Amino acid sequence: MKNLKTRAIAIHKKLLGVYGEPIWRTPLPAIDELVSTILSQNTNDVNRDRGFNALRASYPTWEAVRDASPEDVIDAIRPAGLANQKGPRIQQVLRAISAERASLDLDFLKALPLEEARSWLTQFNGVGPKTAAIVLCFSLNMPAFPVDTHIYRVSGRLGLRAENMTVKQAHPHLESVFPPEAYYAAHLNLIRLGREVCRARKPDCGNCPIWALCDYKDKGVLGI
């Protein structure tokens, strides 16, 4: 594990030198981030934001979204894609949280231990470990490391996780590898690396800023 931590810190520092300290959009309240992340599933950030903004423009409160007709919510979030699945999922989560807490304010999670807060969020259908980690990290400033498809792919190529490790297992594993103070920047910079360089089908290994730290077995195939 010590070697993995050393490698992770070296990768983190190298990406900071190349990309700098990343700044995400203005943090959203936790319930907003929860809905936004559900909308982000299987779509890009632009479509996610279109669906989110359309939903907020249509309803003044999340309680109004919760109590609206399913057809109207589906219609509002259509720009985000998969509206027929995401609309009911959002309403079900909002109803379940209301039943559990009699409120849609999630700030109480900040007072809980991380694993307890994570477990509380993931009890709801449609809220997986990535969604929970995004809410915890970006809205509540808690030490959670979200693992999306880019980070999962890149961390495997970099040798930061076992090849057969599942996405669910990768969340606590990468939290143990990176120092908590690096979660925010490492998450965002690894995503950027995955989108711009370490792509799924044609990774641009020749222009990779951390090529020397990479264990990707197919680098040689690309003529590097």
Residues recognised as catalytic = 130
What is the spatial distance between Cα 18 and Cα 39, in angstroms, rounded to a whole number?
Answer: 31
What is the spatial distance between Cα 211 and Cα 203, in angstroms, rounded to a whole number?
Answer: 11
What is the spatial distance between Cα 147 and Cα 209, in angstroms, rounded to a whole number?
Answer: 21
- Number of Cα atoms under 13 Å in the Cβ half of residue 107: 3
Contacts of 189 (CB under 8 A, 6+ apart): 12, 15, 16, 19, 22
**What string of H, E and C letters represents the secondary structure of 12-31?**
HHHHHHHHCCCCCCCCCCHH
CB 38 within 8 A of CB 90: yes
**Helix, strand, coil share of the chain (percent; to 5):** 65, 0, 35
Contacts of 105 (CB under 8 A, 6+ apart): 30, 31
CB 128 within 8 A of CB 157: no
Tell me how many degrees the CA angle 23-130-39 measures, rounded to the nearest 5: 80
